[in-house]
Amino acid sequence: MKALIFNSGVGKRMGELTQNTHKSLAILNDGETILERQIRILSECGIKEFVITTGPFEEKLKAVTAKYPELHFVFVHNDIYDKTNYIYSFYLTEKYLDDDFLTLHGDLVFNKKLVIDLLNNPCDSVGLINKSLPKPEKDFKARVIGGKIKEVGINIFDDDCFAFQPLYKLSRKNINLWWKKVEEFIKSGNDKVYAENAFNADSDNIEICAMSYDGYFIDEIDNPEDYKRVTEKIRIFDFDEQEQYFNLDILKELKNPLVVVDSFLADKFKEYKTFSDFKPNPIYEDVIKGVKAFSGCDSIVSVGGGSAIDVAKAIKYYSCLDESGKFIYKNIKHIAVPTTAGTGSESTRYAVIYKNGVKQSLTHDALFPDAAILCPEFIKTLPLFQKKCTFLDALCHSIESIWSVNATKKSIEYATSAIEILKANYKAYFDGDQRVIPLIQKAANLSGKAINISQTTAAHALSYKITSLFKIPHGLAVALTLPYLYELLVKDGAKELEKENVTLSEFNEITDYLDVKERYSVSEEELKILVSSVNLERLKNFPKTLSETDIENIYKKALLS
């Protein structure tokens, strides 16, 4: 199976996005271009040979493909791209049509599972339709009769016509039949129509099954409005489809990884190059040492708590900065292996490091790990107090995610599922029942996925200085302030937040069971430091505006009562 990507269009409607480049090189939220994304996904699905038609900016397209020396690319240039439609580019590819093909337009963005299921479809030739979407006014529709695509066009709106996207799986026989009809069109001077016009003229012989893309994501980017919509939607699919494993076997498939690992676990990874020279609250200098250690490696594995995973994310991020500090996408695979069940960092786009004593929050979609390994063996030996603190972190993440003004249907779904698991299994977990460890890991992971979308709120905003000033573990620090924030919300009439959440009484019941609360000695000066250091960005996500007096009272109740 090969891929044929039509990249010979001009992209006139993209405005500034394509002023000096091809529209397939428009950059998505993780820093990856549309073309890089297509190549990455198709190659991960087993396609190693590509035929790419080109028009303008051919050298820029070739520069992108040069990043993939393990793949084979053939370029077919259309000299009259500005005078023809892509039917002529298709015509020029004849001598390369010697295999089954995936064919697609260069402006298509799609999720990986769609390609996997398309390739696994039992029909040898398949096109994509969606009966649940309204028929687009100005884009392709497909006429489907008896499960087969009989016509593709813009101006067809009958009851047997449906939304359509131009990603095809084609047998060698069918792509050559289609090409033969394209040849007839070109020789008759008909080179300004879609290639689909040639298909329509011979659709009785070119048999293409219809497959629904309902529940998947695929869309084209034709203009700035498309770009904004597509870039936002595809990232949610990518977050949701993160690969997950439950043992370390997948690491054997990596060629030359750097394993960023907590020092006490380093001996378990002797066969790999390891990096453990970082502190529990990692500093910028630790990361730079890690970037140097990464030299010569092609992927990253992080093994440990939040700090190890944060360091790995930061190494990836800083390894992608050019001399001017601009982020340049590199296909660096990161597999995260959490050794606690709490932070959910293995499924978030955030990392925290400290520079010159000041907390630096890194946020970028490229920091989201490609895969997570939820291995129960690491949790079995976790000290009880650490289990309690990380459990509280997962629970608070889930509660705050539902509170957040950025909450979405998907983030609430993750958070609600996490809360249900945590409530149902916390007693067994802390009574030492190892059978529930995978469930607690799953809940922690879901809580990470929830805040990855919604972000945390006031309880986290108030927690950071508690941790640094009094050395109180992060999860516990968050849990200290959360019930008093909950009280404020309930007083303000936000009781509906309890419908999908753990109730305030349930939260207090859980923390009482864990027995981790205690009174702290806090001076007036320390109280002032706490109030003045609250993370304002996180406060913006909280559904109630907090005054300085509110914040001071919460700290007093949390630490002194």
Which pLDDT band holds residue 206 (cuts at 50, 70, 90)? very high
Q: Are 235 and 272 members of one domain? A: no
Provide the number of structural domains found in the chain.
Answer: 3
Q: Are 152 and 290 members of one domain? A: no
- The last residue of a domain, from among 312, 345, 379: 379
Which residues touch 79 (CB under 8 Å, ≥6 apart)?
A: none
CA dihedral 369, 373, 378, 382 (to 10 degrees): 50
Amino acid (1-letter code) at residue 419 = I
Q: Are 82 and 28 members of one domain? A: yes
Residue entry with tokens 């990380």: 390
Residue 211 φ/ψ region, left for φ over 0, alpha for ψ in the -120 to 50 degree band, beta for the rest: beta
Which pLDDT band holds residue 21 (cuts at 50, 70, 90)? confident
Beta bridge partners of 57: 55
- Could you read off the pLDDT of 475-524 as tens digits, one per residue? 999 999 999 999 999 888 766 677 678 889 999 999 999 999 888 889 99
Q: Which two tokens stand for residue 27?
A: 């950059």
Angle 119-122-126 (CA atoms, 0-180°, nearest 5)?
A: 60
Q: What is the pLDDT of residue 358?
A: 78
Output DSSP code: residue 136: P
User: Residue 468: is its pLDDT beyond 70?
Assistant: yes
Q: What is the pLDDT of residue 248?
A: 96
- Per the document, the length of the chain is 561
The pLDDT > 70 percentage for the chain reads 97
Range 140-167 average pLDDT: 97
Output DSSP code: residue 134: P
Burial class (CB in 10 A: 0-12, 13-18, 19+), 508: middle
- The last residue of a domain, from among 183, 217, 240: 240
Q: Phi and psi for 537 in degrees, rounded to 5?
A: -60, -40
Measured distance CA(306)–CA(359) in Å, rounded: 15
Q: What is the pLDDT of residue 452?
A: 98
Q: What is the pLDDT of residue 20?
A: 81
The CATH number linked to 435 is 1.20.1090.10
Q: What is the pLDDT of residue 280?
A: 85
Q: Are 193 and 248 members of one domain? A: no
Range 340-346 average pLDDT: 95
Q: Are 104 and 233 members of one domain? A: yes
The CATH number linked to 133 is 3.90.550.10
Q: What is the pLDDT of residue 511?
A: 96
Measured distance CA(290)–CA(258) in Å, rounded: 9
Amino acid (1-letter code) at residue 166 = P
Measured distance CA(220)–CA(525) in Å, rounded: 57
Range 72-96 average pLDDT: 96
Range 517-538 average pLDDT: 88
Beta bridge partners of 52: 5, 75
Q: Are 312 and 366 members of one domain? A: yes
Q: Are 150 and 160 members of one domain? A: yes
H or E stretch including 402?
A: helix 384-403
Range 41-46 average pLDDT: 97
Q: What is the pLDDT of residue 14?
A: 67
Q: Quick one: angle between helices 409-430 and 384-403, nearest 10?
A: 160
- Could you read off the pLDDT of 357-388 as tens digits, one per residue? 777 889 999 999 999 999 999 999 999 999 99
Q: What is the pLDDT of residue 17?
A: 67
Q: Are 292 and 278 members of one domain? A: yes
Q: Which two tokens stand for residue 72?
A: 């084979």
Measured distance CA(280)–CA(305) in Å, rounded: 9
Measured distance CA(222)–CA(420) in Å, rounded: 42
Taking a C-beta distance cutoff of 8 angstroms, is the pair 343, 307 a contact?
no
Output DSSP code: residue 135: P
Output DSSP code: residue 77: E
Q: What is the pLDDT of residue 496?
A: 67
Amino acid (1-letter code) at residue 393 = D
Number of other CB atoms surrounding residue 66 within 10 Å: 9
Which pLDDT band holds residue 213 (cuts at 50, 70, 90)? very high
Taking a C-beta distance cutoff of 8 angstroms, is the pair 244, 338 a contact?
no
Q: Are 347 and 203 members of one domain? A: no
Range 437-444 average pLDDT: 98
Q: Are 143 and 52 members of one domain? A: yes
Measured distance CA(344)–CA(498) in Å, rounded: 22
- Could you read off the pLDDT of 272-308 as tens digits, one per residue? 999 999 988 899 999 999 999 999 999 999 999 989 9
Q: Are 267 and 234 members of one domain? A: no
Amino acid (1-letter code) at residue 350 = Y
Taking a C-beta distance cutoff of 8 angstroms, is the pair 429, 387 a contact?
yes
Sequence-distant contacts of 183-192: CB under 8 A, at least 24 apart: 183/91, 183/94, 185/87, 186/87, 186/88, 186/91, 190/87, 191/83, 191/84, 191/85, 191/87, 191/88, 191/91, 192/83, 192/84, 192/85
Q: Phi and psi for 555 in degrees, rounded to 5?
A: -60, -40
Output DSSP code: residue 217: -
Measured distance CA(4)–CA(66) in Å, rounded: 17
Domain hosting 182: range is 2-240
Q: Are 7 and 133 members of one domain? A: yes
Range 299-318 average pLDDT: 96
Mean pLDDT (the chain) is 94
User: Residue 141: is its pLDDT beyond 70?
Assistant: yes
Q: What is the pLDDT of residue 535?
A: 80
- Could you read off the pLDDT of 402-434 as tens digits, one per residue? 999 999 999 999 999 999 999 999 999 999 999
CA 210 from chain centre, in angstroms, equals 28
CA 502 from chain centre, in angstroms, equals 27
User: Residue 132: is its pLDDT beyond 80?
Assistant: yes
Which pLDDT band holds residue 11 (cuts at 50, 70, 90)? low
- The last residue of a domain, from among 200, 223, 240: 240
Range 322-330 average pLDDT: 94
The pLDDT > 90 percentage for the chain reads 87
Q: Is 304 helix (H, G, I), strand (E, B) or coil?
A: strand
Amino acid (1-letter code) at residue 349 = R
The secondary structure of 507-559 as a DSSP string is HHHHHHHHT--------HHHHHHHHHT--HHHHTTSSSPPPHHHHHHHHHHHH
Measured distance CA(352)–CA(420) in Å, rounded: 28
Whole-angstrom CA distances from 526 to 274, 535, 556 are: 40, 16, 11
